[in-house]
Structure 1
Amino acid sequence: MKGKVVALLVFLNLCWLLIGGGVFSALEWQNESAQRVNYEDYRSRLLRNFSCLTEEEVANFITAVVTATNAGLTLDNSTAADTSNWDFGNSFFFSSTVVTTIGYGHISPSTRGGQAFLIPYALIGIPLCGLMLNGIGENIGGYVTKKKEQWAKKRWSKKVSERTAEVLVMLILFLMFLVFLVFIPSAIFLALEGWSYRISIYYSFVTLTTIGFGDYVPGQNSDQRVVYRLAILCWFMIGLAWMAVILNQVSTFLTEVGVKAQTARDERRKKKDGDTGEGEDNKAAEDVENSESTKSVKQSNVELRSMTPIES
């Protein structure tokens, strides 16, 4: 990639980051301020209503709650010790978020052994999972390419251009991704998790793009954990592979467009240089021809003068 293209990409990414920073700041800052006011108001009322509590005791309790929440405990009206975030099922689910780089962050290893094991586990697991997803994506992409060529021969060759056909294929892949891997799973999350449909779509997008904030995590109820989370793991893999197919199709399309544009520019440049060179050659030939004609005329005049008798 040329230096100018890299510089342009750096500039565009910087501009995009600046836009994101401004928009998120404008949307989220007021809500954060309101939450801070609510927290301070609730803390003040708690100290007024329970005069036996000191500010230090309240601060220690809040710290304990935050620590437990950061450790992944779900603190609600039920007993926090009823379920474990580190039984085999949840640990298996956690491992899947590591190797797929989704990394929800709702739980993370806090022991020295767990943190030490995570490093080699991720170093081996992430490339291994990437190879698997790449293989799945290549098979799906090969099937899509084969079908695209068949459809192009039968229907598209006479009706639309090849570039238009490729755009249609990408749109179909993207629509299938939205329907089967975002909208339908979001409806399932709506029914099983009790989230709104907006939150379900938000969660699906954050997961399949491997952003993985961890603000929403499915399967927290104990009666859903095993089979439900295995189904979610399958959804992970298929969705990530499908995303890879879409990105590969888009990358291939943009590369072909760039190559064709560069080839067209080179041909125009060669044609222009050829026309210029041909014109210069013609001009040089004309100059030589004119020079030879002038010499011939001068020679003829000399011969005529020598042949004409001088009258006395």
Structure 2
Amino acid sequence: MARENSCCCPSLSLSRDSARFCLLFLLIAIYMLAGAAVFSSLERPAELLAHRLWERRLKDFSQGYNITVEDLKSLLSHYEEARTAGIRAEKGRALWDIPGAFYFVGTVVSTIGFGVSAPSTLPGKILLVLYGLVGCSATILFFNLFLVRVRALLTLLLSWCHGRRARNSGPDVSTGGGTRPEAWKPSVYLVAVILFAAALLVACGAASLYSAMEGWTFIESLYFCFVAFSTVGFGDFVSGQRAQHQNIPVYQVANCLVMLFGVCCTYSLFSALSLIIKRGLNWMLSTLAPVRGNVCCYKSQLRTLSKCCTSEPQLTYPCCSEENTLQSQQVPALVFSSHTMV
């Protein structure tokens, strides 16, 4: 069928990988547009309200302390520059001591990038490019190796459970009537469900820890866990940045370990979900293949009919249906002989 469809529409023929790539690009674009519309409708009113509130506060502060709004905005712009160096309105822990720098490089190599700390010197910025190039590559390799071991462990456990259940069900089920049982592999859907449960369990445990140590609500802590573990890293919530956290080394170590384990679990879940999405794309392509074939054959019929009416001896592309075969036989002898030679 693929060969016949390519004969009908040679200019539209695409490999399966290319078609899947184009379809995925289209679906991602639609998904992003839909997400933009939803989040804009949810967050835009709050943004406008915050702007109005901020302008009113600036005006009230300038009038109350006899300061012009321009001078006040200039001071605020200098403060925004100072935030890069770690200056905060509320005192926090040091950003560039050894624990703070270790936390920073952890956000770099894990590609989280909260944005709380960033190098302000030129040598630091240059070093960050080279350091991140090697560190991010090594961390991605570590995530892939972790994923391979998770899959092997899940396959081993699920195969053992399946074999035990089959043996308990009787010889007909486990061995197929005495023959050697075939190798059983868990489906990607079952693996995805298990990984989702594991990632959710880790996120809930981490959220309980952050809720107690950071003073966030459980929902805010769970939101932070997804943003951090998925390596999105907005930076609106960042763990371990309070001044008292500097004197709790156990929490600092636990925070780093929870981050690493959470990112590994979420990365494994994303990999399983990507396989499910790939299967969905293959199903969509298989569903659309007959439609595309009918369109190609219809275009070929119109092209053949047009060539027969004009009696122009040109090369034709017969389609797979019997009706097109009969029509191609009614083409003049010159056309048929030309097609046969080709």
Letter in 2 for 1:38: L
Describe the shift of the 1:262–1:150 C-alpha distance in structure 2 as closer, same or farther (beyond 3 A).
farther
Equivalent pairs, count: 256
Which whole-Å CA distance do the structure 2 matches of 1:29 and 1:262 have between them? 37
Q: Share of identical aligned residues, percent?
A: 26
Instruction: Give the aligned partner of residue 234 of structure 1.
Output: 257
Does residue 167 of the first structure (1) align with residue 201 of the second (2)? Answer: no
User: Residue by residue, what CA displacement relative to the aligned partner does 1:4-59 show, whole Å, maximum 9, x if unpaired?
Assistant: 222211110110110111111111111111111111111111122122x2333212
Instruction: Give the aligned partner of residue 30 of structure 2.
Output: 15
Does residue 150 of the first structure (1) align with residue 160 of the second (2)? Answer: yes
Instruction: Give the aligned partner of residue 64 of structure 2.
Output: 49
User: Residue by residue, what CA displacement relative to the aligned partner does 1:116-173 show, whole Å, maximum 9, x if unpaired?
Assistant: 10011011111111222222222222111111111122226969xx798653342122
1:2 partner SS: helix
Pairing of 1:125-140 with structure 2 (within 5 A): 125-140=135-150
Which whole-Å CA distance do the structure 1 matches of 2:28 and 2:282 have between them? 23
Structure 2: gaps spanning 5 or more residues: 1-15, 174-183, 287-342
The answer to whether the 8 A contact 2:227-2:234 is kept is yes
Which whole-Å CA distance do the structure 2 matches of 1:6 and 1:131 have between them? 24
Which whole-Å CA distance do the structure 2 matches of 1:90 and 1:84 have between them? 6
Structure 1: gaps spanning 5 or more residues: 264-312
TM-score with structure 1 length normalisation? 0.73
Which whole-Å CA distance do the structure 1 matches of 2:107 and 2:119 have between them? 13
Instruction: Give the aligned partner of residue 108 of structure 1.
Output: 118
Letter in 1 for 2:250: V
2:253 partner SS: helix
1:103 is displaced (CA, Å) by 0.7
Which whole-Å CA distance do the structure 2 matches of 1:55 and 1:257 have between them? 56
Does residue 182 of the first structure (1) align with residue 221 of the second (2)? Answer: no
The answer to whether the 8 A contact 2:86-2:117 is kept is yes
Which whole-Å CA distance do the structure 2 matches of 1:209 and 1:156 have between them? 38
Instruction: Give the aligned partner of residue 69 of structure 1.
Output: 83
TM-score with structure 2 length normalisation? 0.67
Instruction: Give the aligned partner of residue 228 of structure 2.
Output: 207
Instruction: Give the aligned partner of residue 59 of structure 1.
Output: 73
User: Residue by residue, what CA displacement relative to the aligned partner does 1:214-246 show, whole Å, maximum 9, x if unpaired?
Assistant: 111111123324332221221122122222333
The answer to whether the 8 A contact 1:133-1:241 is kept is yes
The answer to whether the 8 A contact 1:98-1:122 is kept is yes
Letter in 2 for 1:40: E
Instruction: Give the aligned partner of residue 87 of structure 1.
Output: 97
Letter in 1 for 2:116: H
Describe the shift of the 1:69–1:88 C-alpha distance in structure 2 as closer, same or farther (beyond 3 A).
same
**Root mean square deviation, CA, Å:** 2.9
Does residue 118 of the first structure (1) align with residue 128 of the second (2)? Answer: yes
Q: Which has the higher contact order (CA 8 A, sep 6+)?
A: 2
Which whole-Å CA distance do the structure 2 matches of 1:207 and 1:151 have between them? 34
Q: Whose Rg is larger?
A: 1
Which whole-Å CA distance do the structure 2 matches of 1:58 and 1:254 have between them? 52
Which whole-Å CA distance do the structure 2 matches of 1:260 and 1:50 have between them? 67
Describe the shift of the 1:257–1:108 C-alpha distance in structure 2 as closer, same or farther (beyond 3 A).
closer
Which whole-Å CA distance do the structure 1 matches of 2:70 and 2:271 have between them? 56
Which whole-Å CA distance do the structure 2 matches of 1:30 and 1:94 have between them? 34
